[in-house]
A and B are shown apart, each in its own frame.
Chain A
């Protein structure tokens, strides 16, 4: 968010603060201010903070103060109205820059020159103005490209647990994602919320590699005021919408960690003494998250796209926790990381069984990836599911008790994890990923590969042992 906008006249006036509670203040005498608008909170010591009106009535306004309420006093503080909702500058001048959670430079570069200013809440996209996402995006990660294909305009979260390398995966995807059928570069808007200094340093290094290029990094640190976290994804998405829908670029927005965002939401809700919902999160969290996630997409007649990848830490690895749960209800699938795979050294540790890309079908097949992609993915999935089931049974009955057929699935599961899933730092093209998948199926006799058509088998399968 920026204070540069010169077009709106300030409506200056001094108001009295009557109550201060956590990140909120209650001010009186606020006539002329609009619901949801920005105000300036002047603590009289030279620091002017911004705030947003959360509730309004004849005599008072509840204001959430970005920058926190430390140093705000009843008599020393005055509140001025700004006469507009929170907005941010947008444009290409932000490329290569590191910003704070509200969109102000955090590097030592000059003040960016925006092409325009936009309200950070955006407006809902008319469903009939959307174009259904159906174009392949190559992340270079086999588990994703092969089995959980991401398409341009999709919103796909990564469900992770404490200590799992989700940020590394996100940074990798951000660095190496391409649109193979389209010369347009994929640009990245990376919004980090509530990250530690160590994580921030990691992101800065990852991004400085292509600093001059087309990425914007917004960093809201763990010790920045919580409340700013509520604006960070909105600023990022507002910048991204401009790049995608007005400059017609392919924009990948990475948001990490949505759990930190939701905790900020809960904090404000508690400070407002609202009725808490499940686990203390407010009842409107679904709507609030949807207002972010639904900003992904494509519009009819445009060639740009806004794809979202968000990291969601599952508290206690619990997928039914309200944050991953509500996220899963809104997003178009989910990528789930596994502690077991991580422990065995598989990188990235993607558990494909509970993972899903709902838009995969639309983005793969002849003319997009390859005609055999769907069948191959289904076959790999079902062999791996069976292999994992055998592995579970084996822990009960022992390996020697397994029929030969089952042993083949067991061996497949291990090979799949060691070669297909585990790819370290290498980037694979979709052709390489598909090839790898077929080679893993070679040990199976063709009649057992029921998900594949005879044509695909004839073309790609190298006969294994007979049945």
Chain B
């Protein structure tokens, strides 16, 4: 596919942590892959300086000696794409962790280079193309079924076009030729350089939300399919719990979860939970729509940097098949820090906080790979990649470079707040500080209910008012505000506690579909009306805000799934009645 460069062999001249300098590799190009030393450690060229080639090593370099051989492969770092990705757990350079375990036991030893996709597994290839068809990149050649229900679409790879000259349906491995184009065999597996975005036919406007199942997000700060969001927050504010909730409940066809420089136990938790959870849309295990890329904080730093690209490339691969993909990265800060660490070993001129000056460009290159697209090829189909990146700002201070650069790139800013998490208000999304730039009211008004955007504006305004009133009250006491403002305070409290709060650990409430959210919102809006009318009839404020029926609003999240509308009608009626009786 690419013009292959013959491989070179040089030698190590310098070692400094993950950065290795080699000499004697004159034909090597930037971002080519090399194998370092007798253990054949995987590395990637990140700088060329006269006859010296600087390499970032994706594995530990302890014990490496000067003069050990360095072999250039003449190729960039590739992802291997094909059936078998779903359900896989990969390290930053796409090595399946199961295979590493089989090779070296509990601990990850060095130099292992297992196949990225299982070369022996048979897939039942159902042909869609026929002999004589003229095909171009992206055209559907056939499908295989992954897991219980997933249709994995095998497409004409980039760079190929011509006439189909043979089709071989039936069991095949990813390396068996399933179709010939102009006499050349095409396999189900193909390779794609990690750092290059995959081509599309065109970009589409972002008009459909990715439902997250998190009320605070879907109502106040929705993200579009093909959009991007960041979750900045200090430690313990709930970034990981939120990323995991999105992995479980968001309305995506495929989820790519990148654990980048974070805890090993959190991945274990996902691995233990997901196979047992079912995808509500088709009853299959959640693991069957998930690809995990795991480079935990104790795994090599440079591979952490690569893991983000492995993740996004896999996400684009499923997008090109016409799927909606959610790419979740926890945490993008660890990726940025990996860049910083390598950059500082190169003694590059640092910009802010020691990060390299190209940090913003790299972040942009990543977030710009999100999008809703018309895919290449026939049949015509659309797909999307939505990126949600957690950000871990030092000291919880959002003025640091990664938060600030990401903020400019992402369409949604879901700011997590240490004060809220200390109060155990979860998800700790600060509703006054967060924002979404996607206008999805049109979709909600049309697909869910035509009063959605009106209710949404009401809720946002009430929360805003409550915030300002709280400030007054904390300074001057509750006596300082007017009667109707005390109603607003009570409503704000109900919105916060009974609507926005949502425990991920409560099986009944961990996710919330839009119709339930709408029902809850309507009850709260009706309560507003009932309280205001009681006030206008002259009822004393303490009686209104202390009415016992208001404590029942907390039960809304427990409504049984089939009885949401009845329960909402019932509660609305009782709120009205009790307010009447005051």
Q: Please give the residue numbers on chain A whose beta carbons come within 8 Å of chain B beta carbons, in ascending order.
A: 31-37, 55-58, 85, 121-133, 153, 245, 274-278, 283-284, 286-287, 290-291, 294-295, 297, 299-300, 320-322, 325-326, 328-330, 332-334, 353-354, 356, 358-359, 361, 378, 381-382, 385, 397, 450
Contacts and interface: CB of A to CB of B under 8 A. Distances in A.
Given A85-B63, A294-B297, A358-B236, A126 B100 contact: yes
Most-contacted residue by chain A among B21, B104, B298, B299 (CB, 10 A) = B298
B15 A126 contact: no
A253 to B, nearest CB: 15
Most-contacted residue by chain B among A35, A57, A297, A450 (CB, 10 A) = A35
Given A36-B62, A328-B236, A332-B263, A126 B13 contact: no
Contacts of B271: 127-128
18 contacts: A31-B65, A31-B67, A35-B61, A36-B62, A56-B14, A124-B108, A126-B108, A127-B267, A128-B101, A132-B268, A283-B344, A287-B297, A291-B298, A320-B396, A356-B236, A359-B265, A382-B424, A450-B554
B422 A354 contact: yes
Contacts of A300: 106
Nearest to A37: B63
A275 B347 CA distance: 8
Contact of B341 (A31, A129, A283, A297): A283
Contacts of A121: 62
Contacts of B21: 57
Contacts of B108: 123-126
Given A128-B271, A320-B397, A397-B477, A37 B107 contact: no
Contacts of A326: 394
B402 interface: no
Interface string B244-270: 000000000000000101011101110
B392 interface: yes
Nearest to B299: A124
B447 interface: no
A85 B104 CA distance: 20
Contact of A126 (B97, B234, B340, B423): B97
A294 B298 contact: yes
Contacts of B397: 320
B350 interface: yes
B406 to A, nearest CB: 17
B341 A361 contact: no
Shortest 10 CB-CB distances between A and B: which pairs?
A290-B297, A320-B395, A36-B62, A57-B14, A294-B298, A123-B107, A328-B235, A35-B15, A129-B106, A34-B63
Contact of B61 (A32, A36, A287, A361): A36
A132 B265 contact: yes
B65 A55 contact: no
Contacts of B296: 124, 127, 290, 294
Contacts of B55: none
Contacts of A284: 17, 301, 341
Contacts of A320: 394-397
Nearest to B67: A31
Contact of B297 (A126, A283, A286, A381): A286
B344 A275 contact: yes
A56 B15 contact: yes
Interface in B66-90: 66-67, 89
B500 to A, nearest CB: 17
B98 interface: yes
A374 to B, nearest CB: 9
